[in-house]
Every structure is written in C-alpha cells, then in structure tokens.
Amino acid sequence: MHKLTIFARRVLKDVSQGRNLEAYVVAALGIALLAAGVLGSVDQSAQMALIIAALTVLVLRSTAPETGIFALDDVLKDRQAFGSFKDFIAEGRTLWMFAPSAVNIFNDASPVKAAILDRGGEVCVILLDPDAEHIISYVQGQLDSVGQELASDIRRTVRALDQLKKSGKVTYGFLPFSPGFSLTIIDPDKPGGKLIVEYHGFRNEFTGNRMHIEIARSQSEYWFNYWVNQFVEMRKVAFASESPTS
C-alpha cells in the first residue's frame, strides 16, 4: 500500500507539472481497454491502435536526451570552479555567510560594499568565536596547514565588518562551535536565490581544494531551504546572548 501511495503521488506530480503526459495517456487507454475486455468484447482495431501508440511513445522517448545521468564532477567542485566571489554576489541584495574567519572574503571588502551595501542591501556574517580558545585550537588542527592564525584572522574580519557598517546594514555574531562547513547565501528569500556550501574536510593542502556545492533555489527548493534553515539555526545560537552586532 505504501508503494502504491508513492506511485500515485509521483503520477499526480508528473501530471501537474506536465511531465510524461503521453505515457500516462497511453497507459490510461490501455487500462480502459483492459477493463472493457474483461467486461465484454473489444474491437481488434482499437487494440491494434493502442499497441501502435504505445510503441510510438517508446520509440520517441528513446530519442530524448538523457537528463538523469550526469558527471558527479559537474556537481561537486573546488573553489576555483566557481569563479570570483565578486561575480557570485553581483546581482544580490542580501548576503548571509558563515565561515570560520571569512578572512579571504573580507580582507578586501570592497566587492561586498559595491555589490550589496551600496545598492541598499544587507549583510549578515557568522564567525567562530575568537575567544573560544578550545574550539579555535580544535579548528586550527582541522583546517589547512596554512590556517594557523585563526583567532587573529577572525579579529581582522571583525575590523573589516565594523568598517563596512558605515556603508549600510551589517550584522555579525559568533558561533561557539564549528559545524564543519562554510555557507554563503545570496538572496535567501527570493526566487533567484543561490548558495554555496563548502565542506572543510581535514587538513587540506590548500583552501581551494575543499569540496563545494552550488545550489540555486530554481534547481532544488527543498535543498535550498534546507541550507537557509541551517543558517537560521546557527544565527539563533550566534546571536542568542545579545542582539546582533550592528
């Protein structure tokens, strides 16, 4: 019964979205003729017409491009595959970000200022707590071999964020633990929203070697909302003890 329910839901979803309609029409005719055959006689010409229709659908579908098969390397990428951060945020109005230090982004904050704040947008950043010495020590051991000044990098980012406040709405807070990934979200509440998840891994030789996944809302409403909600939950913790620094 459960499998039948799943099948019915899939059929209804396909029909509502206009997918595989020709196959469902032929199947419905086949069921109707089968029922008519059980209850009485069915004209042979009708049976032959249905058989020809079914074969036609199969032949046409065999010529369609394969959409369910793709190279995993087209989905899982390194940092270099996504081009510049400036291009990624170019059309955005809202920037949400979590990163241990985000120093690579805010070492030069001018793209954020130009693309987001100067156009009336807003920025919310979550960093690791530089005063949580145990967590900082742990994360330094996890991240790349070059990331050995994490606490000072975080404080440098904070100074950059404080400077950005002069240009628009900027809030930031601190997380007392590492979730093992970084997250950058552009326009979380808009149809054109997109995000990048970066998995930290363990002691990568270079930061750019980490696995990245880009998800647009238009590609997957479910997974886009999943990662937006992850940020929302982290923000609750980062800003729990006090109002967001702004």
SS (H, E, C) the chain: CHHHHHHHHHHHHHHHCCCCHHHHHHHHHHHHHHHHHHHCCCCHHHHHHHHHHHHHHHHHHHCCCCCCCCCHHHCCECHHHHCCHHHHCCCCCEEEEECCCCHHHHCCCHHHHHHCHHHCCEEEEEEECCCCHHHHHHHHHHCCCCCCCHHHHHHHHHHHHHHHHHHCEEEEEEECCCCCEEEEEECCCCCCCEEEEEECCCCCCCHHHCCEEEEECCCCHHHHHHHHHHHHHHHHHHCCCCCCEC
Q: Do the Cβ atoms of 90 and 192 come closer than 8 Å? A: no
**Confidence label for 39 from pLDDT (cuts 50, 70 and 90):** very low
Place of tokens 């799943």: 6
Q: What is the CATH number of domain 72-238?
A: 3.30.870.10
Mean pLDDT of the 27-48 span? 60
Percent with pLDDT over 90 in the chain: 44
Which among 113, 140, 232, 130 is positioned nearest to 176, based on CA atoms? 130
**12 or 126, higher pLDDT:** 126
What pTM did the predictor assign?
0.67
So what's the pLDDT on residue 189?
Answer: 94
Q: Per the structure block, which two tokens stand in for 154?
A: 């975080």
Percent with pLDDT over 70 in the chain: 61
Which among 47, 51, 57 is positioned nearest to 23, based on CA atoms? 57
pLDDT, tens digit, for every residue of 40-84? 565 666 666 656 666 665 655 655 555 555 576 667 666 666 678
**Confidence label for 143 from pLDDT (cuts 50, 70 and 90):** confident
Domain ranges of the chain: 2-62, 72-238
| Ranges 111-125, 181-195, 228-242: which has the least confidence | 228-242
**179 or 11, higher pLDDT:** 179
Q: Do the Cβ atoms of 184 and 97 come closer than 8 Å? A: yes
Q: In whole angstroms, how far apart are CA 167 and each of 118, 122, 160, 223? A: 7, 10, 12, 32
